[in-house]
Amino acid sequence: MRIEITAQLFISDHDGYCSDNECELSVRDIKHVIDLDKIESIQDKNDEYWIRFLPEPKINTSGSYFCSNSIQCTRSGLDIHDFTYKNTSIRKISL
């Protein structure tokens, strides 16, 4: 079974070395197709179930981590150099 998942990816990150930089919030729409070996009931699955199939984005992991977080990142529940998926939904299912 092929399932197309869409979600919003929220990232708290910045380019370059960490010293005195501020992590900024970026939001991207993601589409990802997964193949499941067996047919499962998908009706009762929540966001956390589908998020585990989504790819982990590349974020800046080099540096001292002496950066700060923007207000937008903090309001979105993100720490420095962090990410989360929200608003996950199933768009298409094919057998």
Q: What is the pLDDT of residues 9-44, one digit of tens each?
A: 999 998 877 777 889 999 999 999 988 776 566 666
- Output the pLDDT for position 47: 75
Full strand arrangement of the beta sheet holding 2-13? 68-69, 22-35, 2-13, 82-94
The pLDDT tens digits of the residues spanning 54-89 come to 999 998 877 677 888 899 999 999 999 999 998 887
- Output the pLDDT for position 43: 67
Contact between 74 and 13 (Cβ < 8 Å): no
Q: Alpha-carbon Rg of the chain, whole angstroms?
A: 16
How many angstroms separate the Cα of 7 from the Cα of each of 10, 51, 57? 10, 8, 13
pTM: 0.80
pLDDT bucket at 3, cuts 50 / 70 / 90: confident
Enumerate the domain spans of the chain. Answer: 2-94
